[in-house]
Amino acid sequence: MKADLKGFDAGETEAWAVSQGLKPYQGRQIRRWLFKRLAGSFEEMTDILKPLRKELQEKVLVSLLENVETQVSGDGTKKYLFRLRDGHLIESVLIPEEDHYTICISSQAGCAMGCLFCSTARQGLKRNLKSSEIVDQVIQVRRSMDTPERLTNIVLMGMGEPLANYDAVVRAVGNLIGSDGMNFSSRKLTISTCGLVPQIKRLGRDITVNLAVSLNASDDKTRSLLMPINRTYPLARLISALKDFPLPNRRMLTFEYILIKGINDSAEDARRLAGLLSGLRSKINLIPLNPFPGSDMSCPDMEDILRFQAILIKNHFTVIIRKSRGSDISAACGQLSGGYKISG
C-alpha cells in the first residue's frame, strides 16, 4: 500500500522517510514539496535525485483527487467536482473576494445530519474523508490558480458535518495551519457545525480556530423540524457549550441563520434569537435560502429579511446578510450535491 503522506504530520513524515532508508531531512524535503510547493508528482521535486524520485513515485500517493469538472459562475465563483480514489464524489468551492479568495471544502462524502434545507443531506452519508483528502482539496485548487497566494481563507462548510469526522478534520487542520504544513493563519480558518455538543467541547481544548454554528432557528420545535440533530442536542445544551468555548482576544463565534419563508423569518423569531444569543461574543450571518431541486421551501421577501436584520441590529448584534455566491452553478450554501451530468 502506498504511503499517504498528506495525512502525516511532520514527525510521522520523518519517521516514514527513515523507515525507507532515507534521512530525516529528506522527509522534510518531500513535505515541503507537497504542502508548500504543491507538487503534483515526484518529477516536480527537482532537488531530489532522479533515481530516488522514480522509486518514491511507486511508494507514495501524491494526487488523491481527480478533478472531474470545474464550473464557473457568472460572479466568478468556481465549483470543483472531485472524484475520490474509491469513486465517491465531493465538491469544493472557490469564492473570489475583494482582495483575496476563500475556499469552502468538504469533510465528508454526503452527510448524515438530514437538515431539510441542504441538498447534500438528500444523499445520506457515503463516508468520512481522510485528513489527506480534506487537505488535498486546498492543494488541488491552489494548483489550478494563476495567483495561488491570494487564497488565504478556508471554511469547512462544504459537504458533510466536520465535527462528525472529528479526528480527520483536526489532523487536516494541523497540516493546513502548521508552519511545517501549508501555513495558513488559524484566524482565517473556520470550522462549521450543526451543533455536535461533545465535539464542540473537544475542539475548544484541542485547537484554536474560528467556529461557525449553523443555528437556523431560535426555538427547539422549529430547529428540530429543520435540523434533526437538535433532538439530541437541543438549544439549551448547545448554547451552554458555546458559552464555555474559549475565544482568543477579538475573536467571535459566528452564527449562520438560513432564512426560510414562513418557518423562521418572523419578527418574533428575530426577537427570540436576540434573547437566545444574549451574552455571547458573536456575529450573525443571515443567509436567504438557496433553493435546490426537490425542496418545497422558499426564500423570504427582501422586506422581511431586512426587518429581521433590523431587529437584531437594534439588539446590538453585528448582522450581515450574506450574498449568495455561485447559485447559478449550485455552489451556494446548501446546494452542494456531488453530482454531475455527462454532456453529449
Question: For residue 143, is it within any domain?
Answer: yes
Q: Encode pLDDT of 158-194 as tens digits.
A: 999 999 999 999 999 999 999 999 999 999 999 999 9
The pLDDT score that the predictor gives to residue 334 is: 52
The pLDDT score that the predictor gives to residue 1 is: 85
Same domain, 27 and 74: no
Please check whether residue 238 is in contact with residue 291, taking contact to mean a CB–CB distance below 8 angstroms: no
CA distance 276 to 156: 25
Strand, helix or coil at 251? coil
Of 42-51, 67-76, 231-240, 323-332, the least confident: 323-332
Of 32-41, 118-127, 134-143, 330-339, the least confident: 330-339
Whole-angstrom CA distances from 277 to 119, 194, 201, 237, 313 are 27, 16, 18, 13, 13
The pLDDT score that the predictor gives to residue 343 is: 36
The pLDDT score that the predictor gives to residue 15 is: 97
- End-to-end C-alpha distance for the chain, whole angstroms: 37
Question: For residue 342, is it within any domain?
Answer: no
Question: Could you tell me where the beta strands, DSSP code E, fall in the chain?
Answer: 66-72, 78-83, 89-96, 101-104, 108-110, 125-128, 151-156, 189-193, 210-214, 253-259, 282-288, 318-321
Question: For residue 335, is it within any domain?
Answer: no
Burial class of residue 19 in the structure, from the number of CB atoms within 10 Å of its CB (0-12 exposed, 13-18 middle, 19+ buried): exposed
CA distance 72 to 11: 39
- Grid cell for residue 68: 472531474
CATH of residue 34's domain is: 1.10.150.530
Kindly state the average pLDDT of the residues 80-84: 97
Same domain, 180 and 113: yes
Q: Encode pLDDT of 1-14 as tens digits.
A: 899 999 999 999 99
Of residues 47 and 332, which shows the higher confidence score? 47
CA distance 258 to 212: 13
Asked if 91 is an active-site residue, the reply is: yes
Question: For residue 341, is it within any domain?
Answer: no
Confidence of residue 323 (pLDDT cuts 50, 70, 90): confident
The pLDDT score that the predictor gives to residue 205 is: 94
Same domain, 42 and 175: no
Same domain, 156 and 24: no
- Pairing status of strand 282-288 against strand 318-321: parallel
Counting the structural domains of the chain, the total is: 2
Same domain, 122 and 246: yes
- Grid cell for residue 267: 419578527
Q: Encode pLDDT of 137-162 as tens digits.
A: 999 999 999 999 999 999 999 999 99
Mark which of 57, 86, 101 sits at the end of a domain: 57
Nearest CA-CA partner of 91 in 71, 117, 76, 73:
71
The pLDDT score that the predictor gives to residue 327 is: 60
Residue 320's CB: how many other CB atoms inside 10 A?
Answer: 12
Kindly state the average pLDDT of the residues 80-96: 96
Cβ contacts of 271 within 8 Å, gap of 6 or more: 311, 315
Whole-angstrom CA distances from 70 to 22, 74, 188, 322 are 38, 13, 25, 24
Confidence of residue 338 (pLDDT cuts 50, 70, 90): low
The pLDDT score that the predictor gives to residue 183 is: 97
Same domain, 286 and 149: yes
Same domain, 286 and 317: yes
Nearest CA-CA partner of 219 in 270, 261, 181:
270
pTM for the whole structure: 0.93
Asked if 118 is an active-site residue, the reply is: no
Q: Encode pLDDT of 20-45 as tens digits.
A: 999 999 999 999 999 999 999 999 99
Same domain, 47 and 191: no
The pLDDT score that the predictor gives to residue 250 is: 86
The pLDDT score that the predictor gives to residue 295 is: 74
- Grid cell for residue 198: 461533545
Kindly state the average pLDDT of the residues 82-108: 96
Measured N-to-C along each axis, helices 302-314 and 267-276 cross at an angle, to the nearest 10 degrees, of 30
The pLDDT score that the predictor gives to residue 292 is: 73
Domain hosting residue 86, numbered range: 66-329
Question: For residue 139, is it within any domain?
Answer: yes
- Residue 72 pairs in a beta bridge with 78
Same domain, 86 and 235: yes
Question: For residue 200, is it within any domain?
Answer: yes
Confidence of residue 341 (pLDDT cuts 50, 70, 90): very low
CA distance 4 to 63: 10
Q: Encode pLDDT of 203-214 as tens digits.
A: 999 999 999 999
Question: For residue 343, is it within any domain?
Answer: no
Nearest CA-CA partner of 206 in 242, 166, 244, 238:
166
What is the average pLDDT value for the chain, to the nearest integer? 92
The pLDDT score that the predictor gives to residue 344 is: 31
Phi-psi category of 216—alpha, beta or left, where left has phi over 0 and alpha has psi -120 to 50?
A: left
- Grid cell for residue 156: 469547512
Strand, helix or coil at 204? helix
CATH of residue 306's domain is: 3.20.20.70
Of residues 329 and 108, which shows the higher confidence score? 108
Question: For residue 193, is it within any domain?
Answer: yes
Confidence of residue 197 (pLDDT cuts 50, 70, 90): very high
Q: What DSSP assignment string belongs to 307-344?
A: HHHHHHHHTT-EEEEPPP-SGGGT-STT----------
Same domain, 208 and 304: yes
Confidence of residue 131 (pLDDT cuts 50, 70, 90): very high
Question: Which residue among 14, 91, 133, 161 is the active-site one?
Answer: 91
Same domain, 9 and 135: no
Confidence of residue 310 (pLDDT cuts 50, 70, 90): very high
Confidence of residue 300 (pLDDT cuts 50, 70, 90): very high
Q: Which one-letter DSSP state was computed for residue 60?
A: B
The pLDDT score that the predictor gives to residue 333 is: 63
Same domain, 38 and 184: no
